Structure 1
Amino acid sequence: MWADPVLYITDREGNIVKKIQREDENIEAFFANNYAFLYEKDLGKVHMYSEMGELLSTTDVKGDIFNITYENANIIFHVVDEKNEILYLMGNDSTLTEIYRTGNQILTHDVVDDKNLSVAEIKNETSGYTSIVYNLNKGEKTSKSLSHEIVMYLKKDKRSVLALTDKTIYRFMNSGTIYEDRVPNISDILVEGKKTYLLHSGIITEYNYILKPGKKKIIAANVNKMENISGSIYVYGPSDVGGEIGNSGEFYTRLGYSLDKIKINGLLIGALRNGDLSLYSVVNTNTVREEDSKIETTYKEV
């Protein structure tokens, strides 16, 4: 957890095991997988830490870092300079290799390796905006243009690219076939193998590989995010949490107050409110207790 100017490392019980104090000014923190990255903007240096707080590397970066992500066992740096937006792939020795460059704004991406990746960018024209989805498959580049749509998510596999916009979900097959379904008010997407789940208008809809809608589930809570926890779908929002969606043990918990931020990582749920961090762990019981204004329902505070 980053609380400027300190990086706090905690164990799974929420106890602080290490504090990393940075005296530098103008630092931004990024988290990807089990790594923390502290970015010194003025010096263009990125310090990479393990989940135990060990300094793993320091890397020089030209340009401004927009984001650092972890996808398909890769660490990707999204960097912006005066003229371009660039994607870098971090190697095992922490060196950065450029894999993509554009003069447009990059919206999202999914990188398998330097010869297999998908990138969505947006281009503004006098007639309006257009999202362009580029797919690099074994070094061969193809593209699809989507007028007046904004791409929010990409997922690449060996046969296709799954793309979610603010209006439609698409699957662009390498063969040229396109499957699609228009969906209103999309909040989030969850991809599990050949199944895709969309959270929209308070409903979770399950899609098969060719995007035919199947089972639908009405969600009895104010939520906007989904996660897979131990093979079950969990949903959460600013003040509500739901779990085991669609199963016999389905539950919902209303916290009674609005959180500043909530994040699920594995079996841990982190909730931040007014500078206080509460950690919850998912358990297999369905008990409810109230203690010090804390609620336990299928997950417990640790």
Structure 2
Amino acid sequence: MKKRKIAFLAGILVIVFLIYIFLGGVVKEAFQKPVRIVPETSVWQDSEIKDFSLTNSSFVTWDDLLLSFYDLSGKEITDIGSNGYDTNIYFNENDIYFLDKQLNTVFIYDEHGELKDKIKFTGNVFNLKKIGNDYYIHKKESKAGNSVETISKLFKDGREELLYETLNYILDFDINGSKQLITEISTGSYGFKTTVKYISGKDVNEFELNNEVAMKSKFLDGRGIVVTDKKLYSFKGKNKEVLEILLLKDAYIGDKEIAILHNDTLDIYNSKLALKNKYDILINSSNVFQYDGGYFVYGPTDLAGYIGQNREFVHKFDTKVNSVKAKGKILGVLFKERVELYTFEQIIDNVENKEK
């Protein structure tokens, strides 16, 4: 009798919890109001800005020569110069990686431009990634008279652990524990093809995608997700799922789902490629990203945010947009020679939110 009572109470608690989750989502959606973006800060530079990043308390710009740090009011904090060539910049959350190929060193700066650490490396590093707490480098090298490309784990003391080597060109890679997802491209009399390697420990599963180019790849729910210029794939071991994509514009692989922007539509899939949501996009768009529980798309002069939600908005800019990023409560927009920061303002009276 006592066990039955405990089981009954446990069942009641589960039901109450599920109702709470469901009603929480319904109430949250019901109280969401349309928003608009409000300009807060604008910073101009004399040269074209190639890339930028938002951190918790600053934003950072890179113009191929100078790495500049600003607080969120637009006041310059500091800048760091490069040698003018052989320098790559990588942004990761609040850290900035300054890869100097001439010095064979990665300098790691915090959001205010303070040097946190530096790591020496050898060879020609083509790409650097931080996955979890570990650093990985993609290098182009020459071995026994052959040009090879490698992926290695880079330790803070400069040691390198070789994980993968190929004669082909590596397009992208992701690491998840003992699993590796690698896409590479090769050419021949057949034309060109992308090869996907799904590696789990000593098991290597290889998939050939003829006349396709892999654009993005990432592990999601233990499955290897690959987006090519024509299709969406989900790999696990020897198995694969595939969907055709019509007129791909961009893709975003998040921690829970996949967003495919194609034609004038934004499709949302789970890791097994089951369609979760589908939205019509009413602006000229070419890029998609996720922020604050919603999807944003933008094109040459238009931005649409929180697609499919009550707070959805559209904003038109007066000049060409190069990039849009968001963090915290700030939206950053990169134009050719300036960065503008915006905040979000709720439209309380529920008036027309599509700004002209």
TM bin, normalised by shorter chain, reads 0.7 to 0.9
Where 2:272 maps in the other structure, the secondary structure is coil
Question: CA shift at 1:73, angstroms?
Answer: 4.4
Q: Residue by residue, what CA displacement relative to the aligned partner does 1:80-115 show, whole Å, maximum 9, x if unpaired?
A: 2241122232335564433222111011111124x2
User: Judging changes above 3 Å, is the alpha-carbon distance between structure 1 residues 8 and 96 closer, same or farther for their aligned structure 2 residues?
Assistant: farther
Q: Give the distance between the partners of 2:260 and 2:182, measured in 1 at CA.
A: 21
User: Judging changes above 3 Å, is the alpha-carbon distance between structure 1 residues 25 and 171 closer, same or farther for their aligned structure 2 residues?
Assistant: closer
- Residue of 82, 87, 105 corresponding to 1:28: 87
**1:100 and 2:164 equivalent?**
yes
User: Judging changes above 3 Å, is the alpha-carbon distance between structure 1 residues 215 and 100 closer, same or farther for their aligned structure 2 residues?
Assistant: same
Residues 24-33 or 236-245, more deviating: 24-33
**1:162 and 2:225 equivalent?**
yes
Q: Residue by residue, what CA displacement relative to the aligned partner does 1:213-257 show, whole Å, maximum 9, x if unpaired?
A: 343211111222222211111112232111110011211111021
**Structure 1 equivalent of residue 173 of structure 2:** 109
- Residue of 97, 101, 121 corresponding to 1:37: 97
**1:134 and 2:197 equivalent?**
yes
**Structure 2 equivalent of residue 244 of structure 1:** 306
Question: CA shift at 1:181, angstroms?
Answer: 1.0
**Structure 2 equivalent of residue 90 of structure 1:** 154
Greater RCO, 1 or 2 (C-alpha within 8 Å, sep 6+) = 2
Where 1:222 maps in the other structure, the secondary structure is coil
Give the greater-gyration-radius structure (CA).
Answer: 2
Q: Give the distance between the partners of 1:226 and 1:138, measured in 2 at CA.
A: 33
Amino acid at match of 1:181: L
Question: CA shift at 1:169, angstroms?
Answer: 0.8
**Structure 2 equivalent of residue 152 of structure 1:** 215
TM-score between the two structures when normalised by the length of structure 1: 0.83
> How many residues get paired?
286
Query: Higher helix fraction: Structure 1 or Structure 2?
Result: 2
Q: Give the distance between the partners of 2:342 and 2:153, measured in 1 at CA.
A: 33
Residue correspondence of structure 1 range 30-69 to structure 2 within 5 A: 30-33=89-92, 34-69=94-129
Q: Give the distance between the partners of 1:284 and 1:233, measured in 2 at CA.
A: 17
Where 2:346 maps in the other structure, the secondary structure is coil
User: Judging changes above 3 Å, is the alpha-carbon distance between structure 1 residues 268 and 238 closer, same or farther for their aligned structure 2 residues?
Assistant: farther
Q: Residue by residue, what CA displacement relative to the aligned partner does 1:54-81 show, whole Å, maximum 9, x if unpaired?
A: 2233333333332223334443322222
The RMSD of aligned alpha carbons is 2.6
Amino acid at match of 1:99: L
**Structure 2 equivalent of residue 291 of structure 1:** none
User: Judging changes above 3 Å, is the alpha-carbon distance between structure 1 residues 243 and 260 closer, same or farther for their aligned structure 2 residues?
Assistant: closer
Where 1:221 maps in the other structure, the secondary structure is coil
**Structure 2 equivalent of residue 81 of structure 1:** 141
Percent identical pairs in the alignment equals 24
Q: Residue by residue, what CA displacement relative to the aligned partner does 1:140-192 show, whole Å, maximum 9, x if unpaired?
A: 22211111111112122464211111111111222x33221101111222334
**Structure 2 equivalent of residue 294 of structure 1:** none
**Structure 2 equivalent of residue 290 of structure 1:** none
Query: Higher strand fraction: Structure 1 or Structure 2?
Result: 1
User: Judging changes above 3 Å, is the alpha-carbon distance between structure 1 residues 50 and 94 closer, same or farther for their aligned structure 2 residues?
Assistant: farther
Question: CA shift at 1:274, angstroms?
Answer: 3.7
Q: Give the distance between the partners of 1:154 and 1:165, measured in 2 at CA.
A: 9
Residues 130-139 or 248-257, more deviating: 130-139
Q: Residue by residue, what CA displacement relative to the aligned partner does 1:249-286 show, whole Å, maximum 9, x if unpaired?
A: 211111021134433445433323342221223x2513
User: Judging changes above 3 Å, is the alpha-carbon distance between structure 1 residues 230 and 194 closer, same or farther for their aligned structure 2 residues?
Assistant: closer
Q: Give the distance between the partners of 1:177 and 1:159, measured in 2 at CA.
A: 13
